[in-house]
Amino acid sequence: MSKNNIVAIVQARTGSTRLPSKILKKILDKPMLLLMLERLSKSNLIDKIVVATTTNKEDDVLENLSKSIGFNVFRGSMLDCLDRYYQTAKYYDAKIILKITSDCPLIDPVIVDDVIQYFLNNKNKYDYVSNVRPPTFPDGLDVEIFTFSVLENAWNNATDPNHREHTTTFIHSQPKKFKIGNFSMPENQNLFFSHRWTVDYLEDFEFIKQIYENLYNDKNIFLMNDILLFLKKHPDVLAINHHLVSKNSVH
């Protein structure tokens, strides 16, 4: 474990109004959550991955699944995600926290490490770094990273229910209070407004399913450029959820 104790906290719950239990939907006989955790575990800089779910009975299945494949689990508030993150980070003595959402099954471990390294290289310059402000990567490759002290500050001072529910909005909405940095796509590329790789709707799931069925290999984690190359050759797959790109959002 590094002296920084970098902990990736994966926010996960089964309750989803648009696509119920979406992270348990199976692709190639594996729950989507498992596929996402497999990819995240390929990071070279993360010290620990924790699935942070709720104390609701319906999320017992997430605890059991995560533990069965060797991942840590912490259970907390359903609506106060800021408290869930804080309690998780405190329990695991995290010095640096990555915020990852479980509905991003194409998360790229190389990009994750790039964001972590950028943050480590600029620790004296930034309190919080993401690759979504402004967004340039495909929606669904989102990474946010910040120190425990910044998270604790937010936990102590955020009172707006929206800030409690969305974990980091208290931080990045106050650039005068916190030093905010961003990691962008090289060469001024902006793929956010043309690619949607997150899962909220059935079409999103069908898109992700096609990507995995064509690129997945147990011994090889395909990366962003592999997906882009595949989509360039298969515009029919890109079209599956392309009409939803306008719904891309920065959490």
pLDDT tens per residue, range 47-92: 999 999 999 999 999 999 999 999 999 999 999 999 999 999 999 9
Token pair 């920084």 is found at 4
Q: Are 158 and 83 in contact (CB under 8 A)?
A: no
**pLDDT category, 101, cuts 50, 70, 90?**
very high
φ, ψ at 188 (rounded to 5°): 60, 25
> Nearest-5° angle of CA 34, CA 37, CA 43?
155
Q: Delineate the domains of the chain, giving CATH numbers in brackets.
A: 6-247 (3.90.550.10)
Q: Tokens 């017992």 appear where?
A: 60
Question: Percentage of the chain surpassing pLDDT 90?
Answer: 90
Cα-based distances in Å from 210 to 20, 67, 93, 220, 239 = 20, 28, 39, 17, 11
- Whether 251 shows a pLDDT value over 70: the answer reads no
Radius of gyration of the chain (CA): 17
**Residues 92, 6: contact at Cβ < 8 Å?**
no
Degrees to nearest 5, angle at CA 185 with 181 and 150: 20
Q: How far apart are CA 6 and CA 241, in angstroms?
A: 34
Sheet strands side by side (includes 48-54): 72-76, 48-54, 6-11, 96-101, 144-147, 128-130, 180-182
Say whether pTM exceeds 0.85. Answer: yes
Tell me which residue of 227, 214, 31 sits closest to 138, measured CA to CA.
Answer: 227
Average pLDDT, the chain: 95
Task: Tell me the three state secondary structure of residue 144.
Answer: strand
Tens digits of per-residue pLDDT, 26-56?
A: 999 999 999 999 999 999 999 999 999 999 9
Structure confidence at residue 157 as a pLDDT band (50, 70, 90): very high
Arithmetic mean of pLDDT, 219-236: 94
Q: How many CB atoms neighbour CB 232 within 10 A?
A: 9
3-state secondary structure of 73: strand
